[in-house]
Structure 1
Amino acid sequence: METTATHIAVIYATAQGSTREIADFIGASLAARGATVEVADTEHAPELSYFDAVILGSAVHNRALLPEMDEFVRTHATNLHAHPVWLFSVGLGPALVGPIGRRMGRAVPKKIAAVRDSITPRDFHAFAGHYERAGVSLSARTVYRLVGGTRYGDLRDWPAITAWTDSIAHALKLPAPQATPTHP
């Protein structure tokens, strides 16, 4: 008996490329398990009715998902409710340490929670992104340090991203991976 591959859309909104790299990694990881995966930004997103599952990811600016992801969710709400959906965000919160930083990092900002709750994803996960010091004002750098930012650069936790992707694969009953994708 022949089985058909699970079709998964990974749709993202990125500002500087960190979210795109995470989306690409998630897509490659699920494809290595036999799924047919299409990764695209919100502007070039495929027709969702052709997919069995949807994964959405967006960078976080000003404690909100990017406007293009908000618009995508509003425009495609009906299709999103017809599929299993997973949602991730990429921002600084998960990289913060110390008592204030950990508390801020665990809290889901109201604007993100509103989008999340509007589509009731199977899971939502916030990941740290990439944060460079260059071009950031002294006041923003000071606030970053005060709330628990300890370093600049690539703050992404690839083992956590891998574990979350594995949980999606498990929920979709995908087989073990044929290869192990690498991250950037």
Structure 2
Amino acid sequence: MTAAKVLVAYGTKNGSTAGIARTIADALGEQGLRAEARPAAEVLDPSPYDAVVLGGALYAGRWHRDAVRFSRRHRRALSGRPVWLFSSGPLDASANKRDIRPVPGATRASMRLNAREHITFGGCLQEGAKGAVARMIVKRGGGGDYRDAGQIRAWALGIARELTDVTGGP
């Protein structure tokens, strides 16, 4: 049997969410799945994929527009496929300590795509960030890298287990 092909699509502004997506794709690949991380805006047709993980950065309580648009544009193509969602954004350790409810845009996408799960990971905002507000946050000492690679990998391994159980192997 051929290994499931998984798309890890993401919307990012400063690259933090792209890094999370790559970590997820790498972890899935290590479990024998064929996974690739791609910017959501560049995905024209997700139908060649057996499953999709969609992530979006959080800014001012909103899910990244590329993730929202992806969920709208491809809802029919994703119907019947397993979908998982993630957000990245808190600039503190809160995402490592407790579940954080998805923002409204991610909640709507979850319902639209009948997602199996949503999780929020810590974000990353460092020197050189795009946007006036982001630069101001960094300047005032509010930036940092709060992504937890262990938490991200553990979540991805759970997805791999589900997909392996469904397909009968990698």
TM-score band, normalised by the shorter chain?
0.7 to 0.9
> Offset of 1:153 from its aligned partner?
1.3
Matched letter for residue 158 of structure 1:
A
Give runs of ≥4 in structure 1 deviating > 6 Å: 174-177
Tell me how far apart the structure 2 counterparts of residues 37 and 129 of structure 1 sit (CA, whole Å): 22
Give the whole-Å Cα distance in 1 for the aligned partners of 2:112 and 2:92.
Answer: 23
Alignment partner of 1:13 out of 5, 11, 34: 11
Comparing 75-84 and 127-136, the one that deviates more? 127-136
> What pairs up with 1:33-72 in 2 under 5 angstroms?
33-45=31-43, 47-72=45-70
Tell me which amino acid in the other structure corresponds to 1:118: R
Q: How far apart are residue 67 of structure 1 and its match?
A: 1.1
Gaps of 5+ in 1: 143-150, 178-184
Contact 1:8–1:52, Cα closer than 8 Å, also in 2: yes
| In structure 1, C-alpha distance between the alignment counterparts of 2:92 and 2:120, rounded to whole Å | 7
Alignment of 1:105-184 (within 5 A): 106-132=100-126, 135-136=135-136, 152-173=143-164
| Contact 2:91–2:145, Cα closer than 8 Å, also in 1 | no
Structure 2's unaligned 5+ residue stretches are 129-134
Question: In structure 1, how many angstroms separate the alpha carbons of the residues matched to 2:155 and 2:137?
Answer: 33
- Greater Rg by CA: 1
CA contact (8 A) 1:94 1:127 kept: no
Q: What fraction of aligned residue pairs are identical, expressed as a percent?
A: 30
Would you say how many aligned residue pairs link Structure 1 and Structure 2?
161
Alpha-carbon deviations, 1:125-149, whole Å to 9, x = none? 00011023772259x959xxxxxxx
Name the TM-score, length of structure 2 as normaliser: 0.81
Q: Alpha-carbon deviations, 1:26-68, whole Å to 9, x = none? A: 1111111211122210122252111111110111112111111
* 1:89 paired to 2:80: no
Change beyond 3 A, Cα 1:119–1:137 = same
2:137 and 2:86 mapped to 1: Cα distance? 27
